[in-house]
Amino acid sequence: MAKTIQAIRGMNDCLPSQTGIWQFVESNIRRVVANYGYQEIRTPIVESTDLFKRSIGEVTDIVEKEMYTFEDRNGDSLTLRPEGTACCVRAGNEHGLLYNQQQRLWYMGPMFRHERPQKGRYRQFHQFGAEAYGLVGPDIDVEMILIGARLWQAFGIADKVELQINSLGSAEARAAYKELLVTYLQEHHDSLDEDSQRRMLSNPLRVLDSKNPDVQAIVKDAPKLIDHLDDESKTHFSLLCERLDNLGIQYTVNPSLVRGLDYYNRTVFEWVTSLLGAQGTICAGGRYDGLVEQLGGKASPAVGFAMGLERLVLLVESLDESLYANNPVDIYLMPMGDSAESEATKIAEQIRNELPNVKVQQHCGGGNFKKQMKKAVASQAAIALIIGDDELANASVSVKFLKQDKPQASLLLSELSALAEWL
pLDDT tens digits, 279-315: 688 999 999 998 999 899 999 999 999 999 999 998 8
Of the candidates 183, 181, 179, 212, the residue with the CA atom closest to the CA atom of residue 195:
212
State the DSSP H helix or E strand holding residue 193, giving kind and residue range, or none if neither.
none
Q: Residue 212, Cβ neighbours under 10 Å: how many?
A: 14
pLDDT tens digits, 165-186: 999 888 888 888 888 888 888 8
Per-residue pLDDT of the chain (423 residues; tens, 9 = 90+): 788 999 989 999 989 888 889 999 999 999 999 999 999 999 999 999 999 988 877 656 677 778 999 999 999 999 999 999 999 999 999 999 998 999 999 999 999 999 887 777 789 999 999 999 999 999 999 999 999 999 999 998 898 999 999 998 888 888 888 888 888 888 888 888 888 888 877 778 778 777 788 888 888 888 888 888 889 999 999 999 999 999 999 999 988 787 656 678 899 999 998 887 666 889 999 999 989 998 999 999 999 999 999 999 988 888 766 666 777 888 999 998 888 888 888 888 988 888 888 899 999 888 899 999 999 998 888 889 899 888 888 888 888 888 766 566 667 766 676 555 544
Radius of gyration over alpha carbons of the chain, in Å?
Answer: 27
